Structure 1
Amino acid sequence: MLFFLANGYRVVAHDRRGHGRSAQVSDGHDMAHYAADAAAVVDHLDLRDAVHIGHSTGGGQVAAYVARHGLPAGRVAKAVLVSAVPPIMLKTERYPGGLPIEVFDGLRAGLAANRAQFFRDVAAGPFYGFNRPGAKVDEGVIDNWWRQGMMGSAKAHYEGIKAFSETDQTDDLKAITVPTLVLHGDDDQIVPYKNAGVLQAEILPNATLKIYEGFPHGMLTTHADILNADLLAFVKA
């Protein structure tokens, strides 16, 4: 956000419902509500010609917002999906390369049993690739990821697993006609790139795909200098 401010852009971000500083409501923890909430923010601020950038589950939210709200209202200029979850993470007949339901059941079990330790383990391990041999571990990044996680609602996080893993967003991707940049690391241990970024680029009508060799899921943090430069080039183009 500071990078784009320094380059003369207005920057708007929001915490997803039940996450961060947003209200810890009891329901609506699904992709449709995530998109509608984003639309409420955009409408309230009357944003136009916006570039929507979403990471991971936020990428699913961007796809849902742009397809269902942004394009019909004429408010979106471009979109960016970074390490994003569409079209669907779960293994299905339509997408046999997805992950089995047991993976997501394991996430739910770990979160319910000891959320604090679960968040610590995810951040210190696969999210940023800190579990790879020779990786430079950044304790500040781990602490901040844990801090942000623990601010949110356990119920929102638990039910959000279903939202990010089981929502088939093929139709959302097909409906996005604006230029869309798809970025993914080929060492993403959270959202495997072949069933995500590669497929997104195949389904989107107007996509540009870039795969980063050796980059992890949290590459916006670990490789901010490279990602920021590429994002800026796309926004300016």
Structure 2
Amino acid sequence: MSYATARDGTAIYYKDWGPKSAQPIMFHHGWPLSSDDWDTQMLFFLKNGYRVVAHDRRGHGRSDQVSDGHTMDHYAIDALAVAEHLDLRDVVHIGHSTGGGEVARYVAKHGQRQGRVAKAVLISSVPPLMLRTASNPAGTPLAVFDGFRAALAANRAQFYVDVASGPFYGFNRPGAQLSRGVVENWWRQGMSGSAKAQYECIKAFSETDQTEDLKSMAIPTLVLHGEDDQVVPIDAAGRLSVQYVRNGTLKTYPGFSHGMTTVHADVINPDLLAFLRS
């Protein structure tokens, strides 16, 4: 397997498929998943002539299950370690959910400064801030995230079944047809990672204010968000984040869930390709 070494010595697993001379796309996964969550997109863009790269966040998937560093800053630095290890340039960075926060922090702090990033896509992403505060009344109450932590600590396996078979893909909506394969693949990815890393990642994705990251993003940025996202509500994320980026475009999808990259890949993938080619 292929690994890059982060600044603190953590081994970060990555996939690197396609011609090295092609424009690279780097994918950043959501909580509590792994780079496997991007397989459909990676195969699609590989077929369309791109070089595709995806990594497992520290403590997730096949990367080292280290005790420390489960913050947005570390996630961005780890992504930089992969980009530098592979010497990726002119990269399109695509992030889903927590991965969108990772993209925003990476672009703002590292990618633009090094001239490595060309475009960014934030899909169902957590910026600018998920947590409800006095200045962010549309956010989610802290009690909800405390409930996530309590459920993970009590019975992570059952919690992950409940999330995947319920709000993540909208399978809890009337008339929705549950896909057992999708649920089991989500559960498999989640259970392959570290419980401690995933527990601490909840704080990282919910309490990190990334308003300044978004304001620093000067590259073309596409924001995609489902209008029935029960995990990261669109009014507190997608519609708000696009107001901060300097060169942003928002596209929303009526009825689409948080996990729309999986259950609606047939719609999302062509929209991503059109943005890359624009």
Name the TM-score, length of structure 1 as normaliser.
0.99
Q: Does 1:142 align with 2:183?
A: yes
SS at match of 1:114: helix
Q: CA deviation at 1:94?
A: 2.0
Match of 2:60 in 1: 19
Q: Deviations over 1:8-40 (max 9, x none)?
A: 000000000000111100000010000000000
Match of 2:218 in 1: 177
Residues in 1 aligned to 2:194 and 2:273: alpha-carbon distance in whole angstroms? 33
Match of 1:33 in 2: 74
Match of 1:229 in 2: 270
Residues in 2 aligned to 1:171 and 1:109: alpha-carbon distance in whole angstroms? 31
From 149, 169, 180, the equivalent of 1:128 is 169
Residues in 2 aligned to 1:108 and 1:163: alpha-carbon distance in whole angstroms? 12
From 48, 60, 64, the equivalent of 2:105 is 64
Amino acid of the structure 2 residue aligned with 1:57:
T
Q: What aligned pairs does 1:181-200 form with structure 2 within 5 A after superposition? A: 181-200=222-241
Match of 2:50 in 1: 9
Query: How many pairs align?
Result: 237
Name the TM-score, length of structure 2 as normaliser.
0.85
Q: Which has the higher helix share?
A: 1
Q: CA deviation at 1:95?
A: 1.1
Residues in 1 aligned to 2:177 and 2:108: alpha-carbon distance in whole angstroms? 38
Q: CA deviation at 1:169?
A: 0.2
Percent identity between matched residues is 71
Q: Deviations over 1:125-155 (max 9, x none)?
A: 0000000000011000000000000000000
Q: Which has the higher strand share?
A: 2
Residues in 2 aligned to 1:200 and 1:229: alpha-carbon distance in whole angstroms? 22
SS at match of 1:150: helix
Identify which of structures 1 and 2 has the higher relative contact order when contacts are C-alpha pairs closer than 8 Å and 6+ apart. 1
Q: Does 1:46 align with 2:121?
A: no
4+ residue runs over 4 A deviation: none
Provide structure 2 residue ranges, at least 5 long, that are not aligned to the other structure: 1-41
Residues in 2 aligned to 1:54 and 1:22: alpha-carbon distance in whole angstroms? 18
Residues in 2 aligned to 1:165 and 1:231: alpha-carbon distance in whole angstroms? 26
Q: CA deviation at 1:120?
A: 0.4
